[in-house]
Chain A
């Protein structure tokens, strides 16, 4: 029995409202048409990749060493897959046969007929597939992979202790259905073509010392496989060039015919050679992106890293030479943006497929930030990207602005204006802190500066690191199990070790130590299986194409999954710091300090989901120091938990010479984790979300955003590989120009206090209706009107109705 894993949907996914009109005026007609097509395209499943791969494996499995088998498999797909060049497109290439057609990866996990039916019919995140394709899949694909998939390998191995915790929802496991990814690139592909890489590989091959190096043969196999992967991508591009030329011959519109010939020229040049201009640079990245997500289905698809910095030289050269205008550059980039939007995440299998999932594949464009030499990274390209985000308003790619102490206010203000639109992005990152995070983990200064965030909020050294997220840790659930002496109160099953009945604990310290013992046990189980999975990918699913772009895979002759990268980090993402802190604060304050309630009273009320105990629940909600209010007692508890999470996780060795590190992201997993939990002592009811990232519990922060920021800044964020703060703002807080400037000041203040990330959700009327229904979850909603300010919850329903009406009408 597998549990539902609602893993990675960003805030932007929920904020994504197609009905809300984008600012279309800045777009030219081509982009309007492409954007419309992208909106209208329905995600579908393509069985093409699975068919090619299954045929290839049937024929060739056992004939080649695994890396070479994988590279040849990739080559076969690039050689045979349907090529698509759409009308109007300037940047070309699709993972599937058409936009939003997603392939499957049966070598990792093979969808059953039932899975395919569910995907085809479920309400949310539906992927359509024809009955004919389902039949073919059942006949051609499923029988071969039975017993051979990576997922079966993993679940065949996992110990019972792990399985019990996993099924109870104490953690999730990222790599049971998707390959380790979390990759972002540095600038090397803009200076190095695949032919150059092939030469470098040949050089490494010639240097192999078969007499003295015991790994020489392994390295030889890996290097040959990398070389084959280069050929595969060059061939793939070549096929696009041929198709574009063919289309040009029959194209009636002479202008489009010229474009098609130009596309052919671009595709004949990149990725074989280093790009020469802006267009080629974007197409170069796109081919590398496509290759990576075709080879395997790695988490967080693929990220270009500091894309504005990489494109800046091409932009400036084009402008100086008169071969590129600003509008053209924006058009190319808009085409790229829409390309990413056309690539939804590959769907999952099992019960997971029924109840969860997101279309977002977590490409995150880093804008601004610092350069490897430490100087400010903002350029005109950064501003163009902000314009595109504001105008296109599409789900993918995600975007983030990176605000160092050197970033000009002008750029921050431009970013804040996009934030004010309420799309949920860009999120805001602090390079001054994450550079220190990366250096603490052992990166060189320059590699750290070239780093940034990919996916959600996790940081890594772009182009030099495999920094793998392994899954979320449900920290409040660990407390829940502690309070039930090892049992999962939801199922009644004994799922963990027994650390005593908390009713017998004499003081808070005894309770806290029991919690720590449980925490260490759960983390150990997770680490054990993570390490096993890492080896399974190194052995059975090397990523020989991706390895080309991450230093020092070629120099070491080792795969991305097998110690090739210069740095190898394994992150465990801890979710629910707020819920855990607040729950412990309740027990500490009311049971052990003020002694107004016994442990038994509170635990019984929790067990009954506060059924007849609303008075107690309200007392807890309103009379306990909670995290997020700049309150010394609650915040010091949060700091203690955070430090203990760090001590438990950080520094455990992984299988690649690197270490486990702490991460604090949650994406939407806090929703799933909440579903597998009963009520918690902080007054949260059963099944409701736990707190996200390092944000306060929903509605527990009642002193405004600056107090939240003060609380968060008490965590030594440099010890993590990413913290996450979501702040909710009503549009009325951002109405005037000077309010936007004040938002910028708020961000600068947080960052000067050591904050890693902040994201603003500008609430819409839907949120306010929800706040009327569940006021306790929305105690933080602050309303500011000229000369007046109050909390939304404290207003009478007439006034709330008026605020809702204003929110609906508010447009900027």
Chain B
């Protein structure tokens, strides 16, 4: 059973129309710029928002393992002692402490999804499963996809496609659309920045395109990582070589928003101090132009 770390209603950036997005916890990749680092681990994690903490010590008092201390820097948790029982989260009056990752049943998730049908119906929207990597939880994902299919709900899966081809195929047969990130064409660099090589991803992209699946490609555009001309050119070459009807991609200019979440996880953002910067206007334009050469329309944002 996958842990769910967020459910977002009125999701307007995760596919067509107005959607509800279900965030499944756990990801085989660990991109240094990740916006949702709490989605990487498959386990529950405690999040702490210092700003919200009023120092009432309710959590310190209730913790059966004495894992928490109130310091000048807020609540510090000794992760060696913490058994993630969640008692501190239950008593925290301000939600400064939150548990990322909840076990929801498929029935419960369906009831949440169905709450949004009025909006999906009007806007040709639907449900989006993202993460983390939803394909890591293919049993639960497939059950949810089938149930949504029975309800005539449009299904999008936001994925790295870093999964076994059989799983990709089965998911493909049970969803209307994929959102796929293309992070780097060079497998070595992909491993450096994302923790895994990229061959499997690229071959899966090829596979779903040959199978005629509908998908959107999104490229996080990061100066210092993947915005160089060579990588963009190779990306464009690759995307123009596959049989793909959309011929349209979204470029997501880099932003260090992930920092905010790392603070809550009390983990360090970009521990290897990899040089990353938002792409300049020129780089954005150059990228758009290169894709155009290959007959692909690139749109900033999305």
Interface, chain A (partner B; CB < 8 A): 614-616, 618-619, 622-623, 630, 703-707, 709-710, 713, 733, 735-736, 738-739, 741-742, 745-746, 748-749, 752-753, 775, 782, 784-790, 793-799
Contact = CB atoms under 8 A, between A and B. Distances in A.
B263 interface: yes
A752 B9 contact: no
Nearest to B58: A615
B51 A753 contact: no
Nearest to B12: A742
B112 to A, nearest CB: 9
Q: Is the interface of A mostly helix, strand, loop or mixed?
A: helix
B10 A705 contact: yes
Nearest to A787: B252
A786 B17 contact: no
A738 B263 CA distance: 33
B35 A706 contact: no
A794 B12 CA distance: 19
B255 interface: yes
B223 interface: no
Contact of B35 (A618, A746, A788): A788
Contacts, number: 104
A614 B115 contact: no
B263 A796 contact: yes
Given A713-B118, A789-B11, 8 more contacts: A622-B94, A622-B95, A707-B9, A745-B125, A746-B10, A746-B123, A749-B119, A788-B35
Contacts of B257: 785, 788, 799
A742 B17 contact: yes
B255 A788 contact: yes
B260 A796 contact: yes
Nearest to B124: A745
A622 B115 CA distance: 22
Contacts of B250: 786
Given A618-B93, A736-B301, A745-B122, A787 B13 contact: yes
Interface centre among A707, A742, A795, A797 (most CB of B within 10 A): A742
A735 B12 CA distance: 11
A801 to B, nearest CB: 12
A739 B122 contact: no
B122 A748 contact: yes
B12 A733 contact: yes
B93 A735 contact: no
Interface string B91-104: 00111000000000
A630 B115 contact: yes
Interface in B1-34: 8-13, 17-18
A437 B253 CA distance: 49
A706 B10 contact: yes
B223 to A, nearest CB: 16
Given A742-B123, A745-B17, A745-B123, A790 B301 contact: no
Contacts of A782: 10
A742 B95 CA distance: 31
Contacts of A789: 8, 11, 13
6 nearest CB pairs, A to B:
A745-B123, A618-B93, A704-B10, A619-B93, A786-B301, A618-B94
B56 interface: yes
Contact of A786 (B119, B121, B253): B253
B37 interface: no
B220 interface: yes
Interface centre among B13, B54, B116, B121 (most CB of A within 10 A): B13
